[in-house]
Structure 1
Amino acid sequence: MLSANIQAGHATNSYREYVTGSWNHVLPSRRKRDNLDVLADQVSGFDLVGLQEADAGSLRSGFVNQTHYLAERAGFPYWSHQPNRRLAGVAASANGLLCRDQPDEVVDYALPSRIPGRGALVVRYGHGADSLTIAIAHLSLSLRARTAQAAFLGELLTGPGHKVLMGDFNCESDSPEMLSLYRHTQLRPPDERILSFPRWQPRRAIDHILVSGEVGVERRWALADLSSDHLAVAAELVLPPVASAG
C-alpha cells in the first residue's frame, strides 16, 4: 500500500518556494502533468494507493481529475475520489483511491473542523471478522481540529475486521491527539519513524500507514522521488488467514 500527499502535482523544493511558487496553487502548468506521469510510474507496482491533495478538476490542474488520470496512467482498474474543498473553480482538493481489486463499499465522511474541507474516504473489502477496512484521511493543521478528527476516525474504525488508516496526519504518530484513536480502536503506532516532510530535507514523520493488531507489516519505507512537498510512505502488509467456515 502507498499513501501520498501529491500537492495537486506541484513539486516544492524549499520553504521559499511556498512564496515564490505560490502561483502553482492557482494556475496549471505542464510540469504538473509531467510530475503526475512520474508518480504514475512509481505507484503502478502497488495494490492500493491513497491520495491526499489530488485536484478533482479545476483551473490549477487544467480541469483534469488527477485521481482518474493517475488510475488510467498507472493501470488501476478501480478508483474513487472525495472532493473536500473547492475554491471558486480555481482549486478542488480531494482524497483519492486507486486499487487493483474492486471494493465492496466506498463511503465518504466529512471530518469535524471549524473550517470545512477535511474528509475521510473509507473503503471496505469483505464482511465480518475477515473484512478489511481502509480509511484515507488528511487531518487539519490545528491541534484542536486534529484531536476531534482523530476521535471521529476512532469511532469509524471500531467493530470487527482488520483496519488500516493512511494519510497525511500533520502530526507524529505518538502525538497526544492520536491517543484517543489508539484507545478506541485496535490500530497501533508504527514501530519506526518514516520521515516524510519536507520532501527536500525530511525531518518530520507526519504521513502514516497505521494497521490493527492482527495485520502484519513486512516493511515500511518512503519513496524518495515523489514530486510534491511530501514523500510518499509505503507499507507491505500481510493479512491473517481467512477463518474457516467450518
Structure 2
Amino acid sequence: MLSANIQAGSSTRGYHDYVARSWSHVLPAGNKRGSLDAIAQLAGQYDIVGLNESDPGSLRSGFTNQTHYLAERGGFDYWSHQPNRRVGGVASSANGLLAKLEPREVLDHSLPGRLGGRGVLVARFGNEPDALLVAVAHLSLGASSRASQLSFIAELLHGHSNAVLMGDFNCPIDRPEMLQLFKRTRLQPPDHDTPTFPSWSPQRAIDHILVGDGLRCSEPQALAAAFSDHLALSVNLDVPEQALA
C-alpha cells in the first residue's frame, strides 16, 4: 500500500522553487509527464495506492486526468478520483485511488472546514461487515478545520477494525485532533514518526497510513515520489481473507 501527495507532477527541490517555479503550478509546462511516469513506476509495485494533489484535468496538467494516466501506466485495473479544489479556473486538485483489487463500492464525501474544497474518498473491498475499508484524505492546514474533518471521518470509520486511513494530514500524529481520532475509531497510531516533508530534507511527519486493529502492517517507509515536495509513504499490509470476501 502506498500513499503519495504527487503535487500534480510539479517539481519542487527546495523552498526557492515555490517562487522560482510557481508558474508550473498553473501552466502545463515543465516535465510533468516525466514525473508522472516515475510516479507510475513506483506506484505499480503496490496493490492499492492513495493519491493527493492529483490533477483531474485542468490547464496545468494539459487537461490530463492524472489519476487515470497513473492507472494506465502503473497497471491498475481500477481507479477513482475525487475532484475537490479549483484554483482560478486553471488548476484543479483531487484525491485519487488506484487498485489492482476490485473495490465493491467507492464513495466520496465532502469534508467540513472553514474553507470548502476538501474531501475523503472511501473504498470498500469486501461484502462482509468487517470488509477492508480504505479512505484517502487531504486535510486542511488549520487545526480547527482538521478537527471537524477528522470528526467526520471518525463517524465513517467508527467500529471498523479493518480500516485504513491514508493521505496528507498536514499535521503530526500527536496533535489533539489526531488523538481524538484514535479515541473514536479502531485506527492505531504508528510506533514512531516517519518524516515526509519537505522531500529534500524531511523534518515533519505529516503524511500517514493509519490501520485498524484488525490489520497488521510493516513499519512505514518514506520514498521519493519523483520531484514532489512530499515523500510517499508505503506499508506492507496483512489483510484477513474474510475482509476481502
Same fold (TM over 0.5): yes
Deviations 1:170-204 (A, max 9, x none): 00112111122111100011112111000000000
Structure 1 residue 89, shift from structure 2 partner: 3.1
* SS at structure 2 position matched to 1:35: helix
**Other-structure match for 1:181:** 181
- Aligned-residue RMSD, C-alpha: 1.5
> CA 1:192/1:22 → structure 2, altered by over 3 Å: closer, same or farther?
same
What is the CA–CA distance in structure 2 between the aligned matches of 1:181 and 1:77, rounded to whole Å? Answer: 32
Structure 1 residue 158, shift from structure 2 partner: 1.1
* SS at structure 1 position matched to 2:117: coil
Structure 1 residue 127, shift from structure 2 partner: 2.9
Q: Spell out the pairing of 1:33-44 with structure 2 (5 A cutoff).
A: 33-44=33-44
What is the CA–CA distance in structure 2 between the aligned matches of 1:225 and 1:57, rounded to whole Å? Answer: 20
Deviations 1:88-132 (A, max 9, x none): 430110000100011000000011011111100000011334301
- Partner amino acid, structure 1, of 2:163: K
Give the TM-score normalised by the residue count of structure 1: 0.95
**Other-structure match for 2:158:** 158
Q: Is the 8 A contact 2:143 2:177 kept in 1?
A: yes
Q: Is the 8 A contact 1:169 1:208 kept in 2?
A: yes
**Other-structure match for 1:21:** 21
Give the TM-score normalised by the residue count of structure 2: 0.96
What is the CA–CA distance in structure 2 between the aligned matches of 1:58 and 1:105, rounded to whole Å? Answer: 27
Structure 1 residue 74, shift from structure 2 partner: 0.8
Structure 1 residue 219, shift from structure 2 partner: 2.9
Structure 1 residue 161, shift from structure 2 partner: 4.7
* SS at structure 2 position matched to 1:42: helix
**Other-structure match for 2:217:** 217
Q: Is the 8 A contact 1:13 1:229 kept in 2?
A: yes
Segments of structure 1 that go 5 or more residues without pairing to the other structure are none
Q: Is the 8 A contact 1:140 1:169 kept in 2?
A: yes
Deviations 1:22-54 (A, max 9, x none): 111110124111100111111111000000000
Query: 1:77 aligned to 2:77?
Result: yes
Q: Is the 8 A contact 2:4 2:231 kept in 1?
A: yes
**Other-structure match for 1:117:** 117
Query: 1:137 aligned to 2:160?
Result: no
> CA 1:79/1:10 → structure 2, altered by over 3 Å: closer, same or farther?
same
Runs of 4 or more off by more than 4 Å in structure 1? none
Structure 1 residue 221, shift from structure 2 partner: 0.3
Structure 1 residue 226, shift from structure 2 partner: 3.0
